[in-house]
């Protein structure tokens, strides 16, 4: 970079897809959801994308989702061109976003989900710049569609396990017992976005790309949030797990049925769960003879900071 470079930050649209994708490839261990999800994300009014542009070239990008009734801005799918790493381009982009997006005073918090492979965020959190909300263990399995089909056809969930609708989720959020047991951090993550347990978030959590499954016995003892997408590593299913995993197989049946509507090949399933529940999931997956996959980000962190 030089002083003669023309630098600007602009809000992007669906038409900027190719320019945004050209910034960088093979991100997040090959499981980047943005190439598959970009166009659909841009159709929702609570999402905004911003890019840093130098001499007409897109060099950095950040997606922002406003949740919690507009009080929280969640930074997502961040990236910077390798050629411009270390020049403060991404920092300038985030400062621009904070100045313009937060200027109306409605946004009170900034949140982000990141892995341990992001040393800058790890250091910032350790310094107290962000408050750690949740620490999630990540375990990954490869499942071929034939096995998914066999399981989904041969196993039938009990009457206590079902797909949750908006009313079901609203009831769960209003239950102090359910919230204290399943969501002690007062957050639920779906499609890489942390939400407070607020009624206004439910239309965002239950969307055209997600499937929410719950087990009631009689109140919710397990809730799972599944989202299918394609990545450079292939067909991917992200599954957030909250609660007692004794019924995880019944949940998988419904999530597999959801995934099979989109995929007819091998699927990589990412489980995001409490560390104590990871072993239960591992035992169940081993019994079903699904293959474990080593990944480069076995832990993710959900953090937040006060904007003002």
SS3 236: strand
pLDDT tens sequence across 159-209 = 889 999 999 999 999 999 999 999 999 999 999 999 999 999 999 999 888
pLDDT tens sequence across 46-69 = 999 999 999 999 999 999 999 999
DSSP 25-80: -S-GGGT--HHHHHHHHTTSTTEEEEEEEETTEEEEEEEEEEEGGGTEEEEEEEEE
Model pTM score: 0.92
In this structure, the chain runs to a length of 308
* SS (HEC) of 86-152: CCCHHHHHHHHHHHHHCCCCCCCEEEEEEECCCHHHHHHHHCCCCEEEEEEEEEEEEECHHHHHHHH
* SS (HEC) of 259-292: HHCCCCCCEEEEEEECHHHHHHHHHHHHHCCCEE
Residue 250 pLDDT > 60 = yes
What domains, with CATH codes, occur in the chain?
7-107 (3.40.630.30), 136-304 (3.40.630)
SS3 299: strand
CA distance 12 to 53: 11
């Amino acid at each position: 970079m030089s002083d003669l470079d023309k630098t600007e930050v602009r809000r992007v649209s669906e038409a900027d897809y190719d320019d945004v994708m050209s910034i960088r490839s093979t991100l997040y261990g090959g499981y980047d959801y943005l190439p598959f999800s970009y166009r659909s994300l841009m159709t929702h009014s609570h999402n905004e994308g911003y890019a840093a542009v130098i001499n007409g070239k897109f060099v950095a990008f950040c997606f922002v989702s406003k949740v919690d009734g507009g009080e929280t801005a969640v930074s997502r799918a961040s990236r910077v061109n390798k050629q411009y790493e270390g020049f403060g381009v991404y920092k300038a982009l985030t400062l621009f976003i904070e100045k313009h997006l937060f200027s109306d005073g409605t946004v009170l918090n900034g949140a982000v989900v990141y892995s341990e492979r992001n040393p800058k965020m790890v250091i910032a959190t350790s310094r107290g710049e962000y408050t750690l909300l949740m620490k999630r263990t990540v375990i990954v399995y490869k499942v071929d569609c034939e096995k998914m089909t066999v399981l989904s056809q041969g196993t039938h969930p009990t009457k206590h396990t079902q797909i949750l609708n908006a009313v079901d989720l609203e009831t769960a959020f209003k239950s102090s017992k359910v919230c204290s047991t399943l969501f002690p951090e007062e957050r639920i993550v779906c499609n890489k976005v942390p939400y407070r347990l607020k009624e206004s978030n439910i239309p965002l959590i239950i969307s055209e790309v997600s499937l929410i499954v719950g087990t009631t016995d009689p109140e919710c003892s397990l809730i799972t949030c599944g989202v299918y997408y394609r990545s450079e590593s292939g067909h991917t299913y992200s599954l957030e797990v909250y609660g007692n995993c004794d019924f995880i197989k019944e949940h998988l049946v419904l999530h597999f049925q959801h995934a099979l509507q989109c995929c007819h090949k091998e699927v990589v399933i990412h489980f995001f769960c409490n560390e104590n529940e990871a072993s239960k999931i591992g035992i169940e997956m081993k019994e079903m003879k699904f293959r474990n996959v080593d990944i480069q980000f076995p832990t993710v962190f959900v953090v937040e900071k006060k904007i003002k």
